[in-house]
């Protein structure tokens, strides 16, 4: 009986060893297959992330290019409007200087009464050979104020043109 118990013990031990070996082999094979699936999914995910990062980088570069172009256009536009404004201010300063030195006098057209129906003035002047309506010269102080008002208007028109060109550029 001892031999039968040893024989059965050996058979049981071999059976358990074979069961354990086959379980371990199945576990190792499944772990390897699952690891390969995970690696394939990780590679696909990494490729998708790389593609998305490349697309974002391209989008950022395109937006930076647009911003740079807009900055260049704004700088050129500002420079041209600044030049127009300084030119206008220089013209107005020269005009004010000419008015101050009496080199130039501003005048206004005077209303004349007409006689008859032919539109000729009632009185004729013998001291001038200039034909046209009679004119009266303005006081230099009043002329300076008028030039100041028109210079403010000119600056406003230049600023308006700058704003309009900026808005028309943005609404392309």
What whole-number percentage of the chain has pLDDT above 70? Answer: 79
The pTM of this model reads 0.46
**For position 112, what pLDDT does the model report?**
64
Mean pLDDT along residues 147-162: 84
Asked if residue 49 belongs to a domain, the reply is no
Q: Is residue 66 part of a domain?
A: no
User: What is the predicted pLDDT for the residue at 107?
Assistant: 67
Q: Find the domain containing 86 and state its range.
A: 73-108+135-172
The answer as to whether 27 is a domain residue is: no
Checking phi first, is residue 120 left (phi over 0); if not, alpha (psi -120 to 50) or beta? beta
Output 134 or 41, whichever has higher pLDDT.
41
Would 14 be classed as within a structural domain?
A: no
In a domain, 51, yes or no: no
Residue 47 lies in a domain: no
* Number of domains within the chain: 1
Q: What's the pLDDT band for 51 if we cut at 50, 70, 90?
A: very high
CB 133 within 8 A of CB 110: yes
Q: Is position 21 within any domain?
A: no
């Amino acid at each position: 009986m001892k031999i039968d118990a040893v024989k059965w013990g050996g058979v049981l031990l071999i059976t358990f060893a074979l069961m354990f070996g086959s379980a371990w082999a199945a576990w190792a094979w499944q772990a390897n297959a699952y690891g390969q699936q995970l690696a394939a999914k990780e590679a696909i995910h990494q490729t998708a992330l790389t593609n998305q990062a490349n697309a974002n980088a391209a989008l950022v570069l395109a937006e930076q290019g647009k911003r740079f172009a807009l900055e260049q256009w704004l700088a050129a536009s500002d420079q041209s409007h600044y030049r127009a404004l300084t030119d206008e201010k220089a013209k107005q300063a020269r005009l004010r200087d000419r008015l101050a030195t009496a080199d130039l006098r501003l005048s206004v057209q005077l209303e004349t009464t007409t006689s008859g129906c032919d539109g000729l003035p009632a009185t004729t002047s013998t001291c001038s050979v200039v034909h046209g309506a009679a004119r009266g010269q303005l006081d230099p102080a009043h002329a300076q104020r008028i030039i100041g008002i028109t210079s403010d208007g000119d600056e406003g028109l230049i600023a308006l043109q700058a704003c309009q060109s900026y808005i028309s550029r943005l609404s392309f």
